[in-house]
A and B are shown apart, each in its own frame.
Chain A
Amino acid sequence: MDLSLITFVQILVAVIAIICLMVANAVVMVYVERKVAGFIQRRPGPYEVGPWGTIQAICDSMKLLAKQIFVPANVDLVLFFLAPVLAFFPVLLLFLPIPFGPYLTPWKTPDGLVLILAFAGFGVLSNLLAGWASNNKYGVLGAARAVSQSIAYEIPLMLALMAVVFQAGSLNLSVIVEKQGWVPWEWNIVTQPLAFFIYLICLVAETNRAPFDLPEAESELTAGFHTEYSGMGFALFFLSEYANMLLVSFICATFFLGGYKGPIIDGFWWTIIKAYAVMVFIVWIRWTFPRVRFDQLLNINWKWLLPLGLLNLWITAIIIKVVN
């Protein structure tokens, strides 16, 4: 690996651009989520603050910025303030190997998927630290749930992505996109429908979104691992949640939906459109399905998704061996 000056500058520029993307994405997605929730429940959603409520998310973020940061008694101060930062910053790294466009890849590394899967665990670590450090029983319970859920769902997620990797023969995300065509029946969603289905369930569980939002289940644990966080600590958790959503949507678009390929002309706009379609889908299922119980959540994973993922991987391997 040659880390020349040009690569370094390229990564630096990419990191700054990704930070802007993450913050802008959070502001847009807060608005989109509340609006979509409103439409699903037959009400207009945010409407009066700005034209059609467009500056609602900015008002919320400014309010959270000026809110008192409350530190409860007997917390572990270092971990308490480290956890939101740790939730936010490792997500930056995960955007680096994603091919946004044919020429717009922050870092073209041959081991892109390994990088993503290796650093995806940091989100869970931050949830665990947040729950543990805040000296709150709901926090600890939420953190324990977050850990068991994320560790369980990382396995079928990896198996689903490995099936695509077998097919493409590379861990490089740009190569995986290049192997797909621009029309929908040349995408991996057609050749790997089961893997896509497993990945779709796992991405909802990995990002702790409803119906799998057990770590912050409002009806049982007050707010789960971020019960004691107010102001910007809470805002950073919110930001990292939307950044994680954006990340899994981009991976979904890259692996299954043809990435930057599309009709007329290839480019980053197709990646963005596909990723945001997946994001709206995640929001849609959040406001449609009720929350599952925790034993149901783990049963879905260990009894269904994991065997199905293994079976899918096995069949893919056999077919590839036979065809070659």
Chain B
Amino acid sequence: MAETTRTIVPQDGIGQAKSELLPPIINLRPINWFFDINRAMSLWPVTFGLACCAIEMMSASMARFDIARFGAEVFRPSIRQADLMMVTGTVSKKMAPAVVRLYEQMPAPKFVLAFGNCAISGGPFKFEGQYGVVEGVDKLIPVDVYVPGCPPRPEAILEGIFSIQEKITGFRWWPKAEEIKS
């Protein structure tokens, strides 16, 4: 599994995530490979939405786009049972400690998907003199995959999940959109 080691710029007064990834006790390559594939095929997201991009997350789990096809529809209400945290929307400075705490509460093989321009960089709220918005969630917690858009379409969230699967296993599992001829 690709490890997320990234230095995080501290935000004053908010604090950033501290997490350490212990090496596996039995560090054998076939076993790691086996568990990595299983992890990639069942990414359970946490029921957690910050702003309007969460509507697109809900749309992705509904009938038309159906995130369940890839085994990622089990939205767990408790962070202890989730693997994937989709930061969907603007992270305000008031919400930032809660985001950091949620990340720290998640058990170890954990992945973060920054969804939408606000979560990536602050989006339309980034201007000189703004005081209320964290400019990018990667200043608080390590992010695995960025999905741009304002808001991104539900296909983009599927693509983001494919990218996380590729990052876990080192292998692209599903054909790319431009390779499919309709």
Contact = CB atoms under 8 A, between A and B. Distances in A.
B11 interface: no
A226 B73 CA distance: 19
B69 A48 contact: yes
A218 B35 CA distance: 29
A234 B80 CA distance: 9
Interface in A49-69: 49, 53, 56, 58-60, 62-63, 66-69
Given A34-B68, A49-B71, A231-B107, A59 B38 contact: yes
B39 A63 contact: yes
A228 B83 contact: no
A70 interface: yes
Nearest to A47: B69
Contacts of B107: 67-70, 230-231
The dominant DSSP class at the A interface is loop
Contact size range, B: 20 to 34
Contacts of A229: 80-81
B159 interface: no
A40 to B, nearest CB: 10
A66 B41 CA distance: 13
B40 to A, nearest CB: 9
B81 A234 contact: yes
A107 B86 CA distance: 51
Interface in B62-91: 62-64, 66, 68-71, 73-74, 76-78, 80-81, 83
A97 B41 CA distance: 39
Interface string B22-64: 0000000000001101110110000100000000000000111
Nearest to B66: A43
Nearest to B35: A66
A222 B78 contact: yes
B70 A48 contact: yes
B62 A223 contact: no
A41 interface: yes
The dominant DSSP class at the B interface is loop
B131 interface: no
B66 A230 contact: no
B56 to A, nearest CB: 17
Interface in B142-182: 174
B69 A34 contact: no
Nearest to B37: A59
Contacts of A49: 41-42, 70-71
Given A34-B68, A53-B69, A227-B80, A66 B63 contact: no
A70 B79 CA distance: 11
Given A48-B174, A227-B80, A68 B108 contact: yes
Contacts of A67: 83, 107-109
Nearest to B79: A222
Contact of B80 (A38, A46, A70): A70
A185 to B, nearest CB: 40
A172 to B, nearest CB: 41
Contacts of B80: 70, 223, 227-230, 234
Nearest to B173: A48
A303 interface: no
Given A43-B63, A56-B41, A63-B83, A223 B68 contact: no
B68 A227 contact: no
Q: Which 9 A-B pairs have the closest CB atoms?
A: A68-B108, A223-B78, A68-B107, A62-B38, A47-B69, A230-B80, A218-B77, A59-B41, A43-B66
Given A53-B71, A63-B38, A230-B107, 16 more contacts: A42-B63, A43-B66, A43-B68, A44-B68, A49-B71, A63-B42, A63-B83, A66-B35, A66-B109, A67-B83, A67-B108, A67-B109, A223-B77, A227-B80, A230-B81, A234-B81
16 contacts: A34-B68, A34-B73, A34-B74, A43-B66, A44-B69, A46-B68, A48-B69, A53-B71, A60-B71, A63-B38, A66-B35, A67-B107, A67-B108, A68-B107, A223-B76, A229-B81
